[in-house]
Amino acid sequence: MTDLQDHTARAKHWFESLRDDICAAFEAIEREAGSDAAFQYTPWDREEEGNPDPGGGVQGLMKGKVFEKVGVNVSTVKGNFSPEFAGQVNGASADNPGFTATGISLVAHMANPHVPAVHMNTRFLTTGKAWFGGGADLNPPIPYEEDTGDFHAAFRAACAGHNPTYYERFKKWADDYFFIPHRGVHRGVGGIFYDHLECADDAAFERNLAFTQDVGRAFLDIYPRLVRRRMESEFTPEDKLTQLEWRGRYAEFNLVYDRGTLFGLKTGGNIDAILMSLPPEAVWS
């Protein structure tokens, strides 16, 4: 097995392990709320003409009492970018369109508008280069400074263990990226976002894998705590309308600007898995 194959396999194993831990944590919250909701897992196979092993993934979806809709997907795919898309991807070109990608993607839309929605995604890609990317961001319809502060503190600590510049750099990247230009508003209260942490050798791979693992662990630690803090809060019809209007903004960002949505659609991904980020219900006033 080449180093590249080994690196992809190790990243894939981590993403699957993180998925299992997150799903178990979310199901435990449902049990605390008196719900027997559980994740339903749907495998899917990617298709690409002339490619005997294009890969695929598993879509995990749960609809419960606390988690109105949460998707946790893991996919590992490989093949060739279309010529027009290859030039938009780090290390790829029309002359060198091959790629592999493995990653985890999570979006949770909550029943109670006082519980923040959340997005988390980490991934490992190889083209002519190899790199990690990802992050997590909090998306409360009704923000609380305490929740925002604790969420950022968790990722500040994860970053600090690797590079003293990471948190400020990646926080700004999230603030710039998760912005809806046509509305002039941010999608949520931010978090961190990073990309192109390149793995030119084994040492760089180990370093960037370790950071990506700590990002996943930070999410697994902080987000269930925020859910438990707010999930029994009383809410009004006005609170629910605020949530539904906010979800409309969230849908606009994901359909118009989100890189992950575009990447999935351009590489023959599973449509249901790609669009699992969309809320179960939304309104536009």
Tell me the C-alpha to C-alpha distance, in Å, between residue 90 and each of 131, 168, 170, 178: 9, 23, 18, 20
> Which among 61, 58, 81 has a CA at the least distance from the CA of 71?
61
> Which among 6, 18, 132 has a CA at the least distance from the CA of 73?
18
152 tagged catalytic: no
Q: 119, 162, 186, 196: which one is catalytic?
A: 119
> Which among 171, 119, 181, 115 has a CA at the least distance from the CA of 143?
115
Under 8 Å CB-to-CB from 53, ≥6 apart: which residues? Answer: 78
User: How many C-beta atoms surround the C-beta of residue 165 within 10 A?
Assistant: 9
N-term to C-term CA, the chain: 55
Among all residues, which ones are annotated catalytic? 119
